[in-house]
Structure 1
Amino acid sequence: MCPVVSPYLQNTLRLLDNNVDSLVDEEILMNNDIQAGGVWEPSDCNSRYHVALIIPYRNRSQHLQQFLTYMHPFLVRQQLKYRIVVVEQAEGVAFNRAKLFNIGFVETLKLSKADCFIFHDVDLLPQNDYNIYACTHHPRHMYSAVDTLRYHLPYRRLFGGAVAMQQVHFKKVNGFSNKFYGWGAEDDDMYNRIEQVGLSVIRFDPRVASYVMLSHSSVWRTEGRLEKLQDNKDDSEDGLSSLSYHVLDKKERSLYTWFLVSC
């Protein structure tokens, strides 16, 4: 087995701002033997963790490139067995981040085993190698501090941006809601689901769980999101059990597994 703490971790804040390009080393990236589909595992030991990173996506090509070139070496240093999955939503309807997470979960399990799922926005990057991308005994909100919020947690029930959940826990809460088209409140709904099944949310120390957010234009929150959040509290059937979508295309690209879906 690989050691609990990888010997390759660098105890520094590697990323001090959102200038990712200054840290990207293409030679290191390509010499890590990353397999088609964005799959990697250590060759000198058996990883303790089998992780799938699920990325919801639409029209963020620069962020995606920055994310991939930064995150692959980051995950390799942690000696994880992992796959990066990008779920792109076709044009025509408002973006549904939570539903794309559900789709990524279902489609990933058709490809390979994964006991830990990390649901991750494409514009967030961890600063500290010791922020291990693995699941804990309870769902984990991955970031306790982010630069755009002056490294303060805006409210205790926040469960957005990047979260880690065991496969069994994600099934127990019936996944994310499928109802939140547009931006906002789907992460708060997930926090409610976690509480309703008797689980709790944990966070690591902010000195470890710190992130930078890549620059992007502001997105307005969808009107009526809070009313929908309240109405959804008692809808136990909304989620994985009611998921409906079509896979329009899929490919194992050099640094990630890609799905194009309509939902």
Structure 2
Amino acid sequence: MFLKINQRNYHVTDLIVRIACVALVIYWVMPWRFASHYEYLQRNEIQRELVEQVTSNISMQRMPACEYSDILADNVITYLSQYREHVLRGEEILPGGEYFPEDCSARFSTAIIVPYRKREEQLHAFLVYMHNYLRQQRIHYRIFLVEQYDQKPFNRAKLFNIGSVIAAELEFPCLILHDVDLLPMNLGQLYACTQKPRHMSSALDIFRFTLPYGGLFGGVVAIQTHQYRFINGMSNLYEGWGGEDDDFYARVCSHKLGICRFDPSYSTYTMMPHKQEKKNENRIKLLRSGYKRFEIDGLNSLVYTEKERRLHSLFTHILVET
């Protein structure tokens, strides 16, 4: 009798272990299915939320408008070796890292702003992959690399502000604030702006393709140029790692713009390994008092020295002292 009870308990335990293993495999293979704890645009809502705006040179083109419904519907996986090894058809890319399709008129013009300092391997991988990725989206884009030339602590937010000013001078209506270590994995994450500012990298591999907390608003963010001006950009005071994205999110919310995200299956990103930046020891103090400075600390208080502006084959290089 005792033996039968032990056997029964063994079978029950074995069944529980098997079920747990199956659940773990499902979570590993399809983790975005468990990312329902935040709101996102459903697949059938994405296209109508996109804002069709282009620079004047694109608007003067006399060609049929490009179509995007197939890109959004298929949402193909693009994080493949052939797109990461070398730039394909590099002759299509204009000086300064600019591209627009020649067989149709793009409906979106986007400035991709990348703050940078001393990450050569990541930069090379980023440029190769992103040019191969973005040209498949049939948009007009240009990559702006804003490099901090001085020896002060890295000021990521200030570099975004600088890039936004230069992109606005060139009439780009949409800004994508992009870290150099993040790469999109699905083509349906269209590099264009939506009605609301958009957190694009909400399904990041280092977070198991889920969102750690609802207020996370960094990595890759799309925002219309006029909206970025409206909230006075980002704070210029966050030197070192941490805090600036939370401050940015608070600015967006305080101006009642709200944010949006795409379906998690569109928002998958991978992060390239890198050494952590030195933490900003004042970040908590700055965050607590940030609301007092939204109107006085940002684009309207931006001071920097532009040392050089050069059109490289794959990007526009802006070298600055902060």
**TM-score range, shorter-chain basis?**
over 0.9
Matches within 5 A, 1:156-235: 156-235=214-293
AA of the residue aligned to 1:24 = R
Contact 2:87 2:129 survives alignment (8 Å)? no
Q: Which runs of 5+ in 1 are unaligned?
A: none
Give 2:204's aligned residue: 146
Give 1:14's aligned residue: 78
What is the SS of the residue equivalent to 1:154?
A: coil
Contact 1:6 1:79 survives alignment (8 Å)? no
Give 1:253's aligned residue: 312
AA of the residue aligned to 1:82 = Y
Query: Structure 1, residues 106-145: CA drift from partner, whole Å, max 9, x if none?
Result: 12222x2211100000000000000101000000001121
How many pairs align? 257
AA of the residue aligned to 2:86 = E
Query: Structure 1, residues 171-193: CA drift from partner, whole Å, max 9, x if none?
Result: 11010111101110100001111
Change (3 A) 1:170 1:212: same
Give 2:164's aligned residue: 105
Contact 1:48 1:80 survives alignment (8 Å)? yes
Give 2:84's aligned residue: 24
User: How far apart are 1:5 and its partner, in Å?
Assistant: 2.8
Contact 2:68 2:137 survives alignment (8 Å)? no
Give 2:172's aligned residue: 114
Query: Structure 1, residues 189-229: CA drift from partner, whole Å, max 9, x if none?
Result: 01111111111011111111010000112334321201111
Greater radius of gyration (CA): 2
- The structure carrying a bigger helix percent of its residues is 2
**What TM-score do the two structures reach when normalised by structure 2?**
0.76
Q: Which runs of 5+ in 2 are unaligned?
A: 1-64
Q: Does 1:85 align with 2:149?
A: no
Change (3 A) 1:12 1:237: same
Q: Does 1:241 align with 2:300?
A: yes
1:124 to 151, 165, 182: 182
1: distance between equivalents of 2:159 and 2:284? Answer: 20
Give 2:40's aligned residue: none
Query: Structure 1, residues 10-39: CA drift from partner, whole Å, max 9, x if none?
Result: 6432327xxxx65335362414x1000001
Q: Does 1:47 align with 2:106?
A: yes
Give 1:3's aligned residue: 67
1: distance between equivalents of 2:73 and 2:155? Answer: 35
CA RMSD of aligned residues (A): 1.7
What is the SS of the residue equivalent to 1:153?
A: coil
Matches within 5 A, 1:39-78: 39-78=98-137
Give 2:55's aligned residue: none
Query: Structure 1, residues 213-248: CA drift from partner, whole Å, max 9, x if none?
Result: 001123343212011111121211110011000001
1: distance between equivalents of 2:314 and 2:74? Answer: 23
AA of the residue aligned to 1:12 = V
Contact 2:161 2:233 survives alignment (8 Å)? yes
Give 2:24's aligned residue: none
User: How far apart are 1:7 and its partner, in Å?
Assistant: 5.7
1: distance between equivalents of 2:93 and 2:129? Answer: 13
What is the SS of the residue equivalent to 2:265?
A: coil
Contact 2:83 2:128 survives alignment (8 Å)? no
Contact 1:159 1:188 survives alignment (8 Å)? yes
2: distance between equivalents of 1:83 and 1:89? Answer: 19
2: distance between equivalents of 1:9 and 1:256? Answer: 30
**What TM-score do the two structures reach when normalised by structure 1?**
0.93
Contact 2:134 2:191 survives alignment (8 Å)? yes
